[in-house]
Amino acid sequence: MVPALRYLVGARGRARGALFGSFPWACGPASGRPRPLCGGGRSASTSSFDIVIVGGGIVGLASARALILRHPSLSIGVLEKEKDLAVHQTGHNSGVIHSGIYYKPESLKAKLCVQGAALLYEYCQQKGISYKQCGKLIVAVEQEEIPRLKALYERGLQNGVQGLRLIQQEDIKKKEPYCRGLMAIDCPHTGIVDYRQVALSFAQDFQKAGGSVLTNFEVKDIEMAKEGPSGSIDGMKYLIVIKNTKGEEIRCQYVVTCAGLYSDRISELSGCPSDPRIVPFRGDYLLLKPEKCYLVKGNIYPGLIKLAYQNFSYGVTEMYKACFLGATVKYLQKFIPEITISDILRGPAGVRAQALDSDGNLVEDFIFDGGVGDIGNRILHVRNAPSPAATSSIAISGIIADEVQQRFEL
C-alpha cells in the first residue's frame, strides 16, 4: 500500500454461480460436479500416479490443470486435506481481480499480475463464470497526496496496465457521484470475481482431462518406498509413498506441493530443511471474535518481530478499524462524507500465506525447493508464489508447469 494514498473501489458485490458441493472423494474424468469414487476407480490404498500435487487451492488446481493439458498421457492426482476444495486462502479472498498498478516495474510480480488478469478475464468469459469489471478509483483527498498519485500512475503505465487515466474532481463525481477527491487514477481493468468458483472450474477442467482429485487426504508423511512386492525397490516405477493421517497411502513418481499456509509443514515431511526466508506459520488461524478479527499462530521468528515493529502503528490502526465499525466509517467518510454505519456490513476474515525474510521484508518472488537425497530429486515444493496469486493463478501455473517439466525432465 502506498503511504498517504486513499483507495476507493467501485460498487462491490460477490459474483455468484453454481459451485461444487461437498464430496469426500472425487476422481476424473468427470462432467459437472466431481463424483464420489466408485468401484473400479482409484482408491487411497491402491492409487498410483505419475505426478501428485499436494494442495487443492487455486494455485495447486491451476497448476494441475496446466500440467495435464501439457502432458495428457501422464496420470496426475491432487490431494486436499479438507473435505472441500479451495476453502483456505482461496475461500477467504477479497475477490479482487488486480490490475497490476502497484508493483515495481519489470518485476515478476507486475508481469504476472498484468498477464494473469487478462488470462483470468478471458477464462471467465469462456467458462461463463460471473465476474464484474467494475473498475477502481485510487483517490487523493489532500494536496500532498497528488505527487504520490502521479508517481503511481506512471508506475502503472510502465507495468503495461491498460486504460489508466488521471482524472480531476469533476470526473471523479461522474464516475462515483458520492466520492470526494482532488484527483484520482481511473483504473478500469480492476474487477471482482468469486475465486473459489474459478478454482472449482480449474478442478473440473482437470478432471475432464483425466485428472483425479482426492479430498479428505491430510498428508502425514512423504518418503521413498522401502521395498516392492519382491522385497526390493529395483524396477519400481512409483518410488514415492505419501501417507495420510488415516494410514492410507498414495504412490507416485513425482510430487509437487502447493500447500499455501501449510507449505512449511508439508516440505518438512519430506525432509526438506527449513528455509530462512520463510516464516514458519502453521496455518492455524483463529477468529478471535466472529466476523471481526483473526490471528495467525506462528513460531517466534526474527523477521516477524521486525515486520511488526516496522509497521506497529499502521497495524494497530488497521486492527482497530477492523474491530470497530465506527472507526471504519469515520475513515471512509474522508472519501464518501454521506456514508453511515448503516451502510456497512461485516465481511469474513481474510487469510494469506506470505514468505518473510529475516529483515522483515516480504519475499516477492517464487521460492522453489526440492530437498536432499533421492527424494529431493523427485519433489518440487512451491513454498512461495508471488502475490496476488489468485489474480495471477493462470500465469503462475505456467511457470510452475515449466519448472516441473525442467526438473523432472518430462
Q: What is the pLDDT of residues 285-312, one digit of tens each?
A: 444 433 333 344 445 578 888 888 999 9
**Can you tell me the distance from the alpha carbon of 61 to that of 204, in angstroms, rounded to the nearest whole number?**
9
| Residues 278/356, Cβ–Cβ less than 8 Å | yes
Q: What is the pLDDT of residue 274?
A: 60
Burial environment of residue 190 by CB neighbours within 10 A (0 to 12, 13 to 18, 19 or more): buried
Q: Which residues pair with 284 in a beta bridge?
A: 297
Compute CA distances 290 → 274, 320, 405, whole Å: 34, 15, 44
- CB neighbour burial string for 338-351, b if at least 16 within 10 angstroms, e if fewer: ebeeeeeeeeebeb
Q: What is the pLDDT of residue 41?
A: 34
Residue 12 has pLDDT above 70, yes or no: no
DSSP code, position 363: P
| Average pLDDT score over the chain | 82
Q: Which residues pair with 240 in a beta bridge?
A: 224, 252
Q: Which residues pair with 222 in a beta bridge?
A: 242
Q: What is the pLDDT of residue 39?
A: 29
pLDDT band at 206 (very low <50, low <70, confident <90, very high): very high
* DSSP H helical ranges for 45-164: 58-70, 108-127, 146-158
Mean pLDDT along residues 15-26: 34
Higher local confidence (pLDDT), 229 or 383: 383
Residue 203 has pLDDT above 80, yes or no: yes
Structural domains in the chain plus CATH codes? 1-7+46-95+194-288+342-409 (3.50.50.60)
